[in-house]
Chains A and B, each alone.
Chain A
Amino acid sequence: MWNFPLFPERASTGAHDVDFVFFCVMLVILFFLGLILSLFVTFLIRYRRGTKVNRSEPPDTNLKIEVAWVVIPLIISILLYVLATSVFFRLYRAPGDAYVVNVVGKRWMFTLQHPEGKREINELHVPIGRPVQLQMISQDVIHSFFVPAFRTKQDLLPGRYTTLWFEPTKVGKYHLFCAEYCGTNHSRMAGSVYVMEPADYERWLEVGGSNITLAKQGEALFQARHCGGCHGPSQAVRAPLLDGVYGSQVPVLREGDKVPHFVAADQRYIRDSILEPKKEIVAGYEPLMPSYRDQLGEDDLLKLIAYIKSIGLGKEAAR
């Protein structure tokens, strides 16, 4: 019973960085706590009622001292701030070549889908030594994807993608929790992250599940929904072709705009264009597309995005 952990395992590159900042902050905390405590104890003993010590003219203020304990903590704070913020930059910005896994949160489970097409629920299998980026959205309320061994979390919002990335460094099984209170079974919205050797991971990917990639599933959906009728080469209605769009800058007109401005064609843009096509009209086109709001689930949207990304900028030649 007494064999319980006091410090969490470290299983990602980020975990080492976060712990380093944590130890630095703790050092500052212990320094100030020690300083105040030792002054406290000294004064309380020395100046307790009845001791024969000099009590004449107790100072009622001292500008130098006051300035010192404004300026010194301020300098230490700024140093901590710079350190902590630089680590945050690294935690926040995923490397470009990260392996993207889609996550949809719903009460009370995380459903995940790998680019190779394999799906899992409340479990995430990832290879060691490769940056993994989670592209996340919620179907209902706000959830939060939290892996203590990776020292990071990110909320999943309805209607908007958020991302989280990490690079696992240690093989093992780690806790996955939902950290944002989401109703009745919030505490059971939990599972595990498995960090595996690359070879084991490849084997795992092949066993069971679909071996149709996410992009291919998206392409099938694209055809089944007749998206190509307008967006394809043999278009009946004039609509933008989608080859080379993802990752580019698209000129769009918002309501009331006279001149177009450019937006990044990312997952946010694709999602909004499907659900709210009238919001940002590509310059030179008519607002003809209907909304697919109640016809496509979050999983479908992610598949379509994977497909459009696969024919995106720099990739259209490969098709």
Chain B
Amino acid sequence: MTLVREPVTAHEDYLDAGYSLKSWLLTTDHKRIGLLYMASITFFFFVGGAAATIMRLELMTPRGDVLYTPDSYNRLFTLHGVIMVWFFLIPSIPAVLGNFLLPIMIGARDLAFPRLNLLSWYIYIVGGLLVLGVLIFGGVDTGWTFYVPFSSMFSNTNVIGAAVGVFIVGFSSILTGLNFIVTTHTMRCEGMTWERLPLFVWSMYATSLILVLATPVLAITLALLAAERIWGVGIFDPKLGGDPVLFQHLFWFYSHPAVYVMILPGFGVISEIVPCFSRRTIFGYKFMAGALLTIALVGFVVWGHHMFVSGQSMYAGMVFSLLSFIVAIPSGIKVFNWTATLYKGSIRFDTPMLYALGFIGLFTIGGLTGLVLASLGVNPHVHDTYFVVAHFHYIMVGGMVMAYLGGIHFWWPKLSGRMYPELWGKLAALTVFIGFNLTFFPQFVLGYLGMPRRVYEYAPEFQVLNVMSTAGASILAVGYVLPLAYLLLSLRYGSRATANPWRATGLEWQTESPPPTENFVEPPVVIEGPYAYSPEAAEEADHGHH
């Protein structure tokens, strides 16, 4: 792909650039900041996961028993949602892999605003610690959606504390998005035209557009919520002429695009992994990039599909339903094109590819069940039931978390300079896949049966399916702890990675593993598209080995 010279092995890599705490906490190197994010979101992922585990234990029996009061359950699902959405899913791939890879993939030395990048991380940490403190030591019982008038007038918990934390972390999202957009526009190396951008970069670009445009609306909404709660200004209070449904409009105007922040980066990762392990170019590059941008834009006008039974007008419902069907089309393009990318490939099943294949299957199920929810006729039945819970977990956990893990394995040699144990990797990927399906598939059935979400107790006939779900969750937990353990161990015991162990074409693979602080010894020059693989060459190379 490039004319980079042979890596100068004597060059100091970014991990060796300093060992002191200060060298990490004051770094402006995008790669180190990516790792700071990785450590932080891993912490939050396991906190949110622990909450989910306790919830699943509680739901093994119809009566409340593990937790002594319904209030503790309500606080727990709020903690799970708030932490997972704002402190894991939204920053996950962008802030970790995006930070690390975006500049290298376009042949730049760093992001456009390195100090702003460090500031984003500090803002994230301040918001995160505040929210965590509030959620653990005080507790909030509104759910991550903060619906009024419950959150503004009736909840006797620290709603404002949580809202302030989420408000703060929003600025981290905005600054990261801004940084990515400017970097992509201004810092591409010689020959890196827009049509040669890796799809991962396109996905970061589309995600950043959403972050920059939607997050301010969340900030406004939370500020209004706080004003309502403190001063009773009456924007949402019908007694003062306000409208509680207005809050839902504002909230979902941010939160539905945010759902795409939680999946577009996953699309980007999968679009890198599938061509590499099929040894051929991605099918329909332009459609793939176009689909990313289409989803980012159309995603802004479907928010009302969260509100078909909220008292919104029937005609608004009709428009939002139609737009929701339409936004499914570009997602379909992506799945079809990934599938077509396997055609005439030379496919290997290494761990990243297993995650990618799992992603495509689970995302397809998650996406297609969205059609059930988009259908006006069926939505009133399944809305606010476990069907919705299953649907979005298929997309966010089956999709985004799978993509994140696939990406972490794929780029682990680059990030750490070490190889992960392949056998353990495959075992963990399989465990995650099985555990995930056992956890969430029964929830589709539960939802259609009519089990409402956010309940501490439920009708006895729902128990068997809930026990299955809880059993799956315990397998899933093992599947998540395994990579944490072997990836950490590989830092010490893993074999040293070569510059390009996957023989991949991306610019990030044309520099050392781990890369030097300045990313490239010589500025790279790009002369061809991003996925110049050859399946026939791969076959021959393998043949030579045997």
Interface residues of A (CB under 8 A from B): 1-2, 4-8, 17-18, 21-22, 25-26, 28-29, 32-33, 36-37, 39-40, 43-44, 47-50, 54-62, 65-66, 69-70, 73-74, 77-78, 80-81, 83-89, 91-92, 107, 140-142, 144, 146, 148-149, 151-155, 157-160, 162, 175, 177-188, 190, 293
Contacts and interface: CB of A to CB of B under 8 A. Distances in A.
Given A18-B381, A181-B143, 4 more contacts: A4-B461, A141-B154, A181-B74, A184-B141
A183 B371 contact: no
Interface of B: 69-71, 74, 141, 143, 147, 149-150, 153-155, 238-239, 244-245, 278, 280-287, 309-311, 314, 317-318, 321-322, 325-326, 328-329, 332-333, 335-337, 339-340, 342-349, 357, 360-361, 364-365, 368-369, 371-372, 374-378, 380-381, 383-385, 445, 448-450, 452-459, 461-465, 535-536, 538-539, 542
Contacts of B283: 59-62
B339 A61 contact: no
B376 A88 contact: yes
B377 A154 contact: no
Contact of B449 (A8, A29, A179): A8
Given A18-B381, A55-B344, A148-B381, A85 B339 contact: no
Contacts of B449: 5-8, 148
Contacts of A77: 325-326, 328-329, 371
B450 A55 contact: no
Given A25-B375, A32-B368, A293 B239 contact: yes
Given A56-B536, A77-B328, A43 B339 contact: yes
A157 B284 CA distance: 48
B445 A151 contact: no
16 contacts: A18-B381, A32-B364, A39-B342, A47-B345, A66-B337, A77-B325, A88-B317, A88-B380, A146-B452, A151-B378, A151-B381, A153-B380, A153-B381, A157-B244, A160-B311, A186-B456
A54 B344 contact: yes
A49 B154 contact: no
A40 B143 contact: no
B448 A8 contact: yes
Given A55-B536, A186-B455, A18 B384 contact: no
A155 B311 contact: yes
Given A85-B318, A141-B154, A181-B147, A146 B450 contact: yes
A39 B374 CA distance: 27
A161 to B, nearest CB: 9
A141 B150 contact: yes
A152 B382 CA distance: 8
Contacts of A22: 372, 375, 378, 381, 448
Contacts of A91: 377, 380
B383 A179 contact: yes
A77 B298 CA distance: 16
Given A81-B321, A182-B150, A177 B452 contact: yes
